[in-house]
Structure 1
Amino acid sequence: MDNTHESISKILEVEIKNLESKEIQLIEIAKKLNSEKFYPLDFLSNAVINRSLKLIFGFTTLLKNENFIAASHLVRCHLDNIIRFSASWIVNNPHDFAIKVIDGVKIETLKDKNGKLMKDWYLRNLLNEEHPWISNVYEQSSGYIHFSSKHIFNSIYSIDSQNRTMQFSFSKKDNEINENLKIEAIQCMGEITEILLQYLNGWYHTKENPNNMNQ
């Protein structure tokens, strides 16, 4: 009998299962992309799929074990997947770009087809034009990566304003974290994965229609 979800609500369990279902989609597109011809961009595709599967698994595992503080860091890491992978779509030659990244050249030192350096903030802003929630998620999730007020408030168990006292909590598991915050994080992970799948499926379509491929 699976007792994994005994400590979380049914709503969270459903949201987590919805996110986990996207793992299957990532594996399926990986199979398709690696079934025939192989191009330099496939190295980046494989890497981003592999990293995404591990991040989603880590995220859901931590949530199931009531450790939202640790899980929340992974939202920012997963967002990084699409921010940097998206650079492949705004350069003159995606395969030349991929070869440079494979050789260890930093993406932020490379330019897009408009001559703009592809720093994270630049790539993020471009993505945000199509998906207006990305910049906000970036800022919010960065607050969990860097020690900040979010961690301070998460350590407070209760406040008695009348007596001017407060209690702190020290625990390996979540304490009084709003469930809506967890649901929002799960859905963000899902939306990020959907964007990644759009890129991956687009690349697969291009491979299937080589006349559309930049040479």
Structure 2
Amino acid sequence: MTDEELKDFFKSYDLLISDFKFLAKGIMKDQTPISKVDIIALSIINRTIAIVEGFRTLINNNNTYSALHLIRIQIDNLIRYFSILIAEDDNYIDYILNGNQINKFKDKNGKIFSDRYLVDKIEKSYQGVNPLYLKYCGHIHFGIEHIERIKMSSDNLEALYTVVVGDLENYSNEEKNEYIIDFTAVSLKILEIIGDWLKTKEKYVY
């Protein structure tokens, strides 16, 4: 994407944020009791909106390096919300609302809700989450990705590379396009599965 195309694309994030707010409004519809699942869904929506805003701001400010970390956090929103859909334990919602760590929860089948377990489960319903999870864990946890990022090609034929610190935008357009597509896909998936909850709620409550 050119800078102008990128600017136009990010305008669509205004619509995405509006969709999330509309979804939240539907969950909080007048005369409808707020359930425990609603509280979790609304919290995920709120966090998702904040991350969409943050991602857009960082990309626009030429800080792709930091923006990448938000993709992994958006994936966290997806898998943590999905966890309430697969929990075969009536106590799970209260467990979350009481402030306990999701990755320490053990269901009645003895399964611990680690990220790895949840990603494996969600992959069965939404293919493509697992490779994204693995890809962006490599960005959020310090490792070879961060080491390689300070290496730049050198004009010195005797040098393997030049070390550059503080250049936060040494990413190709192809890389940036890939990151934006991935982030958008995850955000839309969150919108979809929470939207499914609203449809279920409307079916049985209204």
TM-score, normalised relative to structure 1: 0.84
How far does residue 115 in structure 1 lie from its aligned partner after superposition?
5.0
What is the alpha-carbon root mean square deviation over aligned residues? 2.2
Looking at structure 1, the residues matched to 128 and 50 of structure 2 have their Cα atoms a distance apart, in angstroms, of 24
Aligned equivalent of 1:9, options 3, 26, 43: 3
Aligned equivalent of 2:62, options 54, 66, 71: 66
Aligned equivalent of 1:82, options 73, 78, 84: 78
SS of 2:51's partner is: helix
Looking at structure 1, the residues matched to 160 and 80 of structure 2 have their Cα atoms a distance apart, in angstroms, of 46
- Mark the CA change 1:165 to 1:116 in structure 2 (over 3 Å): closer, same or farther: closer
Query: Structure 1: which amino acid aligns with 2:16?
Result: K
- Number of the residue aligned with 2:46: 50
Looking at structure 1, the residues matched to 60 and 200 of structure 2 have their Cα atoms a distance apart, in angstroms, of 38
- Number of the residue aligned with 1:188: 182
Looking at structure 2, the residues matched to 139 and 161 of structure 1 have their Cα atoms a distance apart, in angstroms, of 35
TM-score, normalised relative to structure 2: 0.87
Query: Is 1:210 paired with 2:204?
Result: yes
Report if the CA contact (8 A) 2:26-2:198 is conserved.
Answer: yes
Query: Structure 2: which amino acid aligns with 1:71?
Result: A
Query: Structure 1: which amino acid aligns with 2:158?
Result: N
Q: Which ranges in structure 1 are unaligned for 5 or more consecutive residues? A: 1-7
Structure 1: 4+ residue segments shifted above 4 A: 111-115
Looking at structure 2, the residues matched to 201 and 93 of structure 1 have their Cα atoms a distance apart, in angstroms, of 22
- Mark the CA change 1:50 to 1:159 in structure 2 (over 3 Å): closer, same or farther: same
Report if the CA contact (8 A) 1:15-1:187 is conserved.
Answer: no
> Residues 2-22 of structure 1: CA distance to partner in whole angstroms, max 9, x if unpaired?
xxxxxx612322332334421
Q: Which moved more, 1:65-74 or 1:153-162?
A: 153-162
Aligned pairs (5 A) from 1:1-215: 9-35=3-29, 36-92=32-88, 96-112=91-107, 115-160=110-155, 162-171=157-166, 173-175=168-170, 177-210=171-204
Q: Which ranges in structure 2 are unaligned for 5 or more consecutive residues? A: none
Looking at structure 2, the residues matched to 68 and 93 of structure 1 have their Cα atoms a distance apart, in angstroms, of 40
**Paired-residue identity, %:** 26
Q: Which moved more, 1:24-33 or 1:138-147?
A: 138-147
Looking at structure 2, the residues matched to 112 and 27 of structure 1 have their Cα atoms a distance apart, in angstroms, of 32
Aligned residues: 202
